[in-house]
A and B are shown apart, each in its own frame.
Chain A
Amino acid sequence: MLIAVISLTVMGVVLGGILGAAARFFAVEENPLEEELKALLPGSQCGQCGFVGCSQYAAALAKGETPVILCAPGGKAVAEALAKKLGVTADLSGHEEKVPVYSTINEALCIGCTRCIRECSTDAILGANKLMHTVIIEACHGCGKCAKVCPTDAIVMVPVRVTLANWHWPKPEVEHMQSNPEVGHAH
């Protein structure tokens, strides 16, 4: 009896000590969740969430300090992915779904200053000094940073158009037939 108590106590103290030491000496400084969240974000550092870049937003998310719905280029899909990872429900009701946009340059107004090119984090703008610029739509994710720096307001963000390639059926609206109308009004 005594032997069992003593041996278990000794084991508890020794193993607990090891765990305590490990927690101190092998501590992971960065929250691993932060990396995982960062991987879900677009990574274009556009800053529309209000943070400096994606890593900062991910850090704030990991600490639970900020809502998951702030990423504008990521839209609903990213918000839902973040919510899933964090185990929270994405409150999309207050979130006005921003339609996906892309940048276009009004060529008549462009003076070829290259400011937008320097601003673009995905190299989606093509052009050179004093030459007209244009946007490669496939590479543009609609962060809007270029439009902010344009000195002649030649850049506008336009919504991605519905085409045959991205059209899909709307959700069917089902009106249930009510056999007893009063039941229908009751709730």
Chain B
Amino acid sequence: MKLYPIRGGIHPDYRKDQTSEKAIVALPMPAALYIPLQQHIGAPAEVLVSAGDLVKKGQMIARSQGVISSPQHAPTSGRITAVTQVAAPHPSGLPQSTIILEPDGKDEWADLPEPIADPFAADPHTIHDRVAQSGIVGMGGAAFPSAVKLNLGTQKKLEILLLNGAECEPYLTCDDRVMREFPAEIIDGARIMAHALGTPKVVIGIEQNKPQAIEIMTKAASAFAEIEVVAVPVQYPMGSERHLVQAITGRETPARKLTADLGVVVHNVATARAVHHAVRFGQPLVARVVTVSGGAIREPKNVLTPIGARIADLVEFCGGFAARPESVVNGGPMMGQPLASLEAPVVKGTSGILALTAEEINNHPTSPCIRCGTCVTICPCGLSPVEMAAFIRKDKLDGAAKLGVMDCVSCGSCSWACPSHIPLVHYFNYAKGVLRVLENEQRKSDRVKTLAEVHNLRIEKAAEAKRAALAARNPAPTVPTAEEKASA
């Protein structure tokens, strides 16, 4: 297959060998699981259980509310001890509503929905509903509800289902291991998704630094003419949805458009596997593979983790810390976010937990910009980081917005490449956050304005009606007529 170049990008030290040759091992069931109601983009799920309830594995414990939302299921059987506020796996460490489940050790499945006997004969809606019901969200990290993306076939003409197995972030190997160990499940899930989407073609994109995965997946896909496994160049951020689409189709997704507008829908390989489990066995998404790695971890591993296990449980299972971690990161080292607390749980979008030493982080004091232009050359989105950062430094967010800061995907390539160690991507994350808050404020202010207008209109109408009623009751509050005078 002909591949197309992507713009910019970097070649960091991949450091995947710490975990890439280690088979996936299951985490022993922890003493308690913490299942947040919001593990996805969209509206949080609505809790269905209360303290004291007994639940079985796979039972729905919170249902989705709204179009873009996702339900939560019990990752094992046990007793609900509380529904309360627990620190989120988020750099702020702010609390969020979380269901606490105390496992009973039996790991008994609930009555699951019937498997869909022949998914390829089933109506796409049946598959969509099953995926929605099973709480499947994008497992590459963004955690967008997968069912919403599977529905795109009804709105747009789609050509390709692109399975993302690029895994371009250093350290992470969970997708690599899943591809090597469960190729048939991924292929089956991909075929089911392609059927639901109505795409005639499936392309599986894997970076060339995973030769075993490429070989195994190619072999597993050989029975199906519509599936093609493609080895894409090793170039961060190849695993970004838009960049992978560009590498495969040669077309760039316009700003504020979806890849689906180009006829391509992208799903992660682990998501395809979750779809296979949901459709073939009725099993919801209750566990995922997490890469636990970094120089400060004693025994780096790929761990099959029930959703809701604390990050501290994972670290302990991997032998604890061998050195003092300078930072514990949720996700990859490029785009991952530092964790405020190890008490936070693993969620559906957690691809990796990295405990990085000071050497690995390589923190330097910032020096002034030398205007070398490296960040402009390597920006995979074609932006001008140096100019945007200059605007943001002087609090001129409008200027940064005009230069397209909202189109920045926060890949961090500019920060990585900057010889002056200017925290460029931090500036952009800050600016994007502030601009989003301002946009929300503007939206609220518009809504309030409408409410105030409607309110005034109603008050006026009521006053008008009152005047009319008054006028009707005493038709002539003026001088009494001659007849009235006479009768009086």
Report A's interface with B, CB cutoff 8 A: 42-45, 73-75, 77-78, 100, 120-124, 138-139, 141, 162-164, 166-172, 174-177, 179
Contact = CB atoms under 8 A, between A and B. Distances in A.
Nearest to A75: B441
A53 B40 CA distance: 42
B449 interface: yes
Interface residues of B, number: 40
Interface stretch (B84-92, B192-200, B201-209, B352-360): B84-92
B434 A168 contact: yes
Interface in B353-394: 364-368, 392-393
B429 interface: yes
22 contacts: A44-B448, A73-B445, A74-B445, A77-B438, A78-B445, A120-B455, A122-B452, A122-B455, A141-B445, A164-B88, A164-B94, A167-B92, A168-B434, A168-B436, A169-B426, A169-B433, A170-B430, A172-B423, A172-B426, A174-B422, A175-B365, A177-B364
Contact of A177 (B88, B366, B432): B366
A111 B201 CA distance: 66
Contacts of B438: 77
Contact of A164 (B90, B426, B455): B90
Interface in B432-478: 432-434, 436-438, 440-442, 444-445, 447-449, 451-456
B437 A174 contact: no
B427 interface: yes
B94 A163 contact: yes
B96 interface: yes
A77 B96 CA distance: 28
Nearest to B366: A174
B448 A42 contact: yes
A175 B88 CA distance: 30
A187 to B, nearest CB: 14
B94 A167 contact: yes
A141 B366 contact: no
Shortest Cβ-Cβ A-B pairs, 9 listed: A168-B433, A177-B365, A122-B451, A43-B449, A172-B426, A141-B448, A44-B452, A169-B429, A172-B423
A154 to B, nearest CB: 22
B91 A174 contact: no
B331 to A, nearest CB: 15
Contacts of B291: none
Contacts of B88: 164
B164 interface: no
A77 B94 contact: no
Contacts of B427: 171-172
B38 interface: yes
Given A44-B451, A169-B430, 16 more contacts: A44-B449, A44-B452, A73-B445, A77-B442, A100-B441, A121-B452, A138-B444, A138-B447, A164-B38, A168-B430, A169-B426, A170-B430, A174-B423, A175-B365, A175-B366, A177-B367
Contact of B437 (A120, A166, A175): A166
Interface string B84-115: 00001011101010000000000000000000
Nearest to A78: B445
